[in-house]
Amino acid sequence: MWQLVLHRMAATIPVLFLVSAGVFMLIHLTPGDPIDVMMAESVDAGVKETLRRELGLDRPLALQYAHWMGRILQGDFGRSIRNREPVIENVGRRIRPSLQLAALAMVISLVVAFPIGILSAARRNSPLDGAGSLFSLFGICMPNFLLALLLIFFFGVTLRWLPISGYSDPFEEPLAGLRSLALPAVTLGLALAAVIMRTLRSSMLEALAEDYVRTARAKGVSEWRVIGGHVLRNALIPVVTVMGLQLGTLIGGAVITEYVFALPGVGRLVVDAVFARDYPLVQGVVLLIAVGFIASNLIVDLLYGWIDPRIRIR
């Protein structure tokens, strides 16, 4: 297994290199300039030039890239232009809410998707299955921002059960933290549950048609043991794949949900950085998100082996 890990980590290097070059070129070729944005009200061209020179923005792009890469190889991601703090510090502050939100959304989606998915597959074409399909259709079609605003309206404004926006750290203030994450986690969790539920249902239906299911039933194994012991385990591989991909998206891509609920997460950080043309911050965050994606895919690959001994690497 360690060989797999090492092998996969070696394969990451060219990927990260491509990502770094891509994001560097894209953000630098986008019209606009961080100093212009920061000093929009200032007419003082001299100050702007001083700042540009200090940040090295007046040098050729290739040189800037080489300089940036050189520092990254030494573990230095540079400093944000807007708030002049190290990129790592910016990300460190923002990654906690993002990870907590992603984890909570994952839990909610599993709790919702598994029972519905299993029941829908086991009682195929029943009214229950119909209701499950309706739920998943709703979850997939409902735009995030609309669901978020509806949840805010019902649970925040009308019922006043939960706070509308803001963030507290659940590890510092458990109750306030969970309350602040509840609505955004439900927003993300429901959409995710819909996808997982559909995947689970279809892969279970496939497994239900396998010979070993018939054998198990012929042996007299109870229907619920057939489903729980044989079918579910064999149906898990596609579900885990979907979850792995979604986890990566949740961490860097929950921008809209983070905006609506005023959650200080990574998604918002990167979008704000793009609008401010904060080059080092955009580059650093995108690179770190790419690392996160690769890591979650690696975990998925390792889970395959655990779920299905046949694909365990020797």
Task: Out of 4, 16, 39, 295, name the contact with other proteins by CB under 8 A.
Answer: 39
With contact defined as beta carbons under 8 Å apart, do 296 and 248 qualify?
A: yes
The percent helix, strand, coil of the chain (3-state, each to 5) is: 80, 0, 20
Does 58 participate in binding other proteins (rule CB under 8 A)? no
Segment holding 301, helix H or strand E: helix 279-307
Does 56 participate in binding other proteins (rule CB under 8 A)? no
Does 152 participate in binding other proteins (rule CB under 8 A)? yes
Task: Out of 277, 285, 292, 300, name the contact with other proteins by CB under 8 A.
Answer: 277
Segment contacting other proteins by CB under 8 A, of 69-77, 82-90, 107-115, 283-291: 82-90
Segment contacting other proteins by CB under 8 A, of 162-170, 216-224, 243-251, 280-288: 162-170
Instruction: Write out the two tokens for 188.
Output: 């993300």
Does 266 participate in binding other proteins (rule CB under 8 A)? no
Task: Return d(Cα 245, Cα 106) in angstroms, integer.
Answer: 12
Instruction: Write out the two tokens for 86.
Output: 């190290």
The angle subtended at Cα 155 by Cα 154 and Cα 158, nearest 5°, is: 55
Residue 213: count other Cβ atoms within 10 Å of its Cβ. Answer: 17
| CA-atom Rg of the chain in angstroms | 24
Task: Out of 9, 11, 22, 50, name the contact with other proteins by CB under 8 A.
Answer: 50
Half-sphere exposure for 135 (CA within 13 Å, toward CB): 23
Task: Out of 7, 71, 93, 225, name the contact with other proteins by CB under 8 A.
Answer: 93
Residue 261 phi/psi, 5-degree rounding, is -90, 10
Least distance (Å) between residue 252 CB and other proteins: 16
Task: Out of 14, 60, 84, 219, name the contact with other proteins by CB under 8 A.
Answer: 84
Q: What is the DSSP string of 126-177?
A: SHHHHHHHHHHHHHHHS-HHHHHHHHIIIIIIIS--S-SS----TTTSHHHH
Which CB sits closer to other proteins, 92 or 228? 92
Task: Out of 51, 221, 237, 295, name the contact with other proteins by CB under 8 A.
Answer: 51
Does 154 participate in binding other proteins (rule CB under 8 A)? no
- The binding site for other proteins (CB under 8 A) comprises 30-34, 36-48, 50-51, 54, 82-85, 90, 93-94, 149, 152-153, 156-157, 160, 163-167, 259-262, 264, 268, 275-277
